[in-house]
Structure 1
């Protein structure tokens, strides 16, 4: 049995932001096991929202989830619902984020600015909700894997880059079937022009070096945090070589990187709590945040 309460954000949220505290949530959901989900806005667009999902007891750590969809509009954080529930059932707090995609106000720089704002909002919402933010890992799938690594490297960005000066920096990052190298993905037309659409360049145009340096994880290395790079060898949407090529480069740059290539699993196995791909993530989370 679910109980739902809805709140108006409006002037209350604005006043809270001006006061330097977290705005009130715009919705709350309590499930039969006592887990509580509150929805928080970081902008006026319907996609500029995040869910904080708390276990019934004290959280053992916090996981930020970033959904995929080749950065396109039409996909949202509900893609992560099953793995979010799995994490919460095991005692983790989850921050499940949404962002604007290409075709609905997203692209460069908006999608990057959105992801940064979503992560940074946790720095305020978390403590107010009793969630420690010193043990936060970020996990993203597909395009969300790219964004997860990018978010973990925001502390490297120059002052004028979208997402610079993070209020919260994850201590570990996982890319599940991620587009970890935008330069190579653009050159090989991974996602049928998806990289060109997120960066706002032509389909046959190489990613400019200065843009890659602030948007593409492989060109931002070293990120300075432990990373899990996991892919399935049956993935035909984001080819495994994007993970297999990234990991040794990141390791050579000085990062602590674990590469797992899972036999027989495809692109969407990562969203299934019963998959071997997800089991790799769960084991890694124990190592990095407990």
Structure 2
């Protein structure tokens, strides 16, 4: 289940040796620097014409790599040997399993670049139960859906279709109140008619951190086209009132703050300056356009009780989101904020079993 980048290029015969010599360094740089890189195969189709097949885990990985271009010396050295770029296209690898229809595709549910989701489908005709994934990252544009693609792969292997959604976040146009909340609701409703193999009577949502708060918000809706059957919050910020009192996220303004345990690098660090500039009064203040005593109706709207079963999971060693924000969670000793989105961690096995049990 991968995205394939198919690039055709020409190399002058007297540059062929230099291109082949630069190739191992380029591939090694991809392995070290490019999230989602799987493998690359170089095929000579004529004396001066080559086909490069590069495999990525998903569309976002491919998009990120294209945006980076030749930013590493080893990659730039390889590109410098190329004479002409003939074409570059996207393909999908079809697995040799059942009917070969395992695929991932990116689908827009609105006009903004962040109003998209990636739909993962198991092999077969379905109908498949659906899990909607909502990533975290303080609701900011520094972080995106790539954080939870390992969970998507695990769920597809368990027979679920997965809708890994993106949404407008703080730092980009339309992010915050009400755009962020409108987007996640629109993304859920976009499942209606998206694919005939989806079982829309069995849709559940899983969110991490800020995404946990958004998952609970989605679980409180009763007027959408698609109704949820269950929701899971992984290290979620469910008590926004308390988080606002504590100025959650103001740590971004501290240049000496330590990185949280297990934290991956930001997917879009270019948004860091705008986050630092707006985090002083806490991220909930920025998200909702005021403190709780200034806009209480907004806080009330986005923290309504869930109307479907809600499972809350929290790591006992979470140094990002305090357990007091999570209600009454199932806690896991020694687990940090990011362990709960590791499909190999014992907490995820509890979540996947819970999602499966909801289908009975």
- TM-score of the pair, normalised by structure 2: 0.63
Instruction: Write the deviation string for residues 37-93 of structure 1: whole angstroms up to 9, x where unpaired.
Output: 121111121111011100113355110000001100122111111010000011111
One of 286, 289, 292 as aligned partner of 1:197? 286
CA deviation map 1:113-147 (0-9, x unaligned): 1111111101221xx33211100110000000000
Shift in Å, 1:207: 5.8
Match of 1:50 among 107, 113, 117: 117
* Superposed displacement of residue 2, structure 1: 4.3
| CA contact 1:186–1:207 (8 Å) conserved in 2 | no
| Structure 1: distance between partners of 2:2 and 2:208 | 28
> Which is richer in strand?
2
Indicate how the Cα distance of structure 1 residues 67 and 28 shifts in structure 2: closer, same or farther if over 3 A, else same.
farther
Partner SS, residue 331 of structure 2: strand
Question: Considering only aligned residues, what root-mean-square deviation do their CA atoms show, in Å?
Answer: 2.1
Which residue number in structure 2 is paired with residue 212 of structure 1?
299
Counterpart for residue 207 of structure 2: 140
Q: Structure 2: where are the runs of 5+ without partners?
A: 7-89, 251-281
The unaligned stretches of length 5 or more in structure 1 are: 7-26, 156-164, 248-258
Q: What is the aligned residue count? A: 240
Q: Relative to structure 1, is the Cα distance of residues 209 and 201 closer, same or farther in structure 2, using a 3 angstrom cutoff? A: closer
- Mark the CA change 1:141 to 1:129 in structure 2 (over 3 Å): closer, same or farther: same
**Gap change, CA 1:74 and 1:139, over 3 Å in 2:** same
Larger deviation: 35-44 or 173-182?
Answer: 35-44
Q: Which residue of the partner structure matches residue 336 of structure 2?
A: 266
Residue 29 of structure 1 aligns with which residue?
A: 92
Number of the residue aligned with 2:218:
151
Of 163, 168, 176, the match for 2:234: 176
Deviation at 1:188, TM superposition (A): 1.5
Q: 2:143 aligns with which of 61, 68, 75?
A: 75
Query: Distance between the aligned counterparts of 2:294 and 2:207, measured in 1?
Result: 22
Q: Who wins on radius of gyration, i.e. which is larger?
A: 2
> Which residue does the alignment assign to 2:159?
91
- TM-score, structure 1 normalization: 0.77
